[in-house]
A and B are shown apart, each in its own frame.
Chain A
Amino acid sequence: MVKAIEAYGIPVVHIATVVPISQTVGANRIVPAIAIPHPLGNPALTHEEEKEIRKKIVNKALEALQTPVEDQTVFEWK
């Protein structure tokens, strides 16, 4: 899906838990997520702490979208 949308020239950042799958499929900008059932959350934390992590990930995704890339790039936030 990432590729078919990006084929129109729109930059796409893929927030994905299993980064190797995202790389194999061919996403260009990848931000690692937390876990499969809750990629942008962590139910073990308080609501506030969880939102802080979500902000961190989205922030990294925005940074990725503003970063020129030529090859597949993983943007780590941890």
Chain B
Amino acid sequence: MSKLRVVHYINQFFANIGGEEKADYQPELREGFVGPGMAFNQNKEFADEAEIVATVICGDSYFNENVDSALETVMGMIKSQNPDLVICGPAFNAGRYGVACGTVAAAVNKAGIPAITGMYKENPGADMFKKEVYIISTKNSAAGMRDAVKKMAPLAIKVAKGEAIGASAEEGYLPNGIRKNFFEKKRGSQRAVEMLIKKLADKEFETEYEMPSFDRVAPGEAIKDMSKAKIALVTSGGIVPKGNPDHIESSSASKYGQYDISMFTDLTAETHETAHGGYDPVYANADADRVLPVDVIKEYIEEGKIGSLHQYYYATVGNGTAVASAKKYATEIGKKLVDDHVDAVILTST
């Protein structure tokens, strides 16, 4: 029997084309495997039945900034290979890569070709696509590649062959909300009591029905008179005073900064820069107003359109930063903004 034909979708980074400076790389089709594709082709379980025959590469920024046209091109390339299966990523905790992998896998599925991907559970692509495609739960960095391939390979083969897929906990994919009826060995009342006893004894137990987390916040009330309002600027784009005095990390930031902007009417290459990794810093370093629009806000204040700008702005780096950290920083920032009677916030993200 001939092997299953697999097309692999990866980004410019994993294709060894380049980092952020190449994130605008346009879709390219290459024969055979590239980069992490080797790990799949070397996985025995995978290699016995399947082979990566082609790899589609696309820059993360290019994909996300031109979703419609990029997806069309990528899909054309994938279909030209007549694949039995498409594997995207894994994307780990790279946000734009995760969204690209999810988008491609979902479109491939819709076109009637089985597809799977893999990413870290906090990747924004996970929540967006876990109901549409099988997403293997991976670690948050490429150090988890071996582990990811070990879980993705068998699931990929099963999906391609149309075999029955087990529960998310068995196969290692992110729960997609699908439930199946089956007969448990023990009846419900017995399982419930056993679970309760474990819980009372502070032992680990596994819930049979995860409660959904509706993590939403009610919109703040609209500003009635902007000409009297005090606005604050916050950014996850890493804009810091030149020299990055607090040494905010370029990735997985462990802190945020509070910086005085009262004396600035325009941010320049001499005064500010970005600490953010994961995107090409050239444009933000040349003119940080492109991320934190201080020049325009100050002009609007001059014109009387806005009441005032809060003396301080707050900045951290969004790149790979854990949701829990971002939440913690923003809770502290929000408290300060309330204490300083700020009326509204403009938060910019790269």
Contact = CB atoms under 8 A, between A and B. Distances in A.
Interface of A: 1-18, 20-22, 24-26, 28-29, 33, 35-41, 43, 50-51, 54-55, 57-58, 61-62, 65-70
8 contacts: A10-B337, A10-B342, A12-B220, A13-B345, A36-B65, A37-B61, A58-B293, A62-B300
B4 interface: no
Could you say which of A35, A67, A68 has the most chain B C-beta atoms within 10 Å of its C-beta?
A: A35
A13 B349 CA distance: 11
Nearest to A56: B296
Nearest to B219: A28
B170 interface: no
A8 B293 contact: no
Contact of B217 (A6, A15, A20, A35): A6
Contact of A40 (B23, B234, B293, B347): B293
Q: Among B223, B292, B345, B349, find the residue whose CB has the most chain A CB atoms closer than 10 A.
A: B349
B259 interface: no
Nearest to B290: A41
Contacts of B329: 1, 4
A14 B221 contact: no
B11 to A, nearest CB: 13
Contacts of B224: 66
A8 B349 contact: no
Interface residues of B, number: 67
Contacts of A33: 348-349
Given A5-B337, A51-B296, 10 more contacts: A1-B347, A4-B331, A6-B218, A39-B291, A54-B296, A58-B296, A58-B346, A65-B222, A65-B223, A70-B219
A29 B128 CA distance: 19
Interface stretch (B68-76, B151-159, B204-212, B276-284): B276-284
B54 interface: no
A26 B219 CA distance: 10
Given A18-B96, A38-B284, A38-B291, A10 B215 contact: no
A28 B345 CA distance: 12
A17 B61 CA distance: 10
B350 A39 contact: yes
B95 A21 contact: yes
A5 B337 CA distance: 9
The 4 closest A-B pairs by CB, nearest first: A41-B290, A11-B220, A4-B330, A28-B219
Nearest to A4: B330
A33 B349 CA distance: 9
B300 A58 contact: yes
Contacts of A16: 348-349
B291 A62 contact: no
Contacts of A2: 330, 347
Interface string B318-337: 00000000111111011101
A57 B293 contact: yes
Contact of B345 (A5, A20, A22): A5
B286 A43 contact: yes
A17 B95 CA distance: 12
B293 A10 contact: no
A17 B64 contact: yes
A14 B289 contact: no
A8 B299 CA distance: 28
Contacts of A69: 219, 222
A73 to B, nearest CB: 8
Contacts of B145: none
A40 B252 CA distance: 24
Contact of A11 (B96, B215, B222, B296): B222
B220 A10 contact: yes
A66 to B, nearest CB: 5
Nearest to A47: B287
A7 B330 CA distance: 10
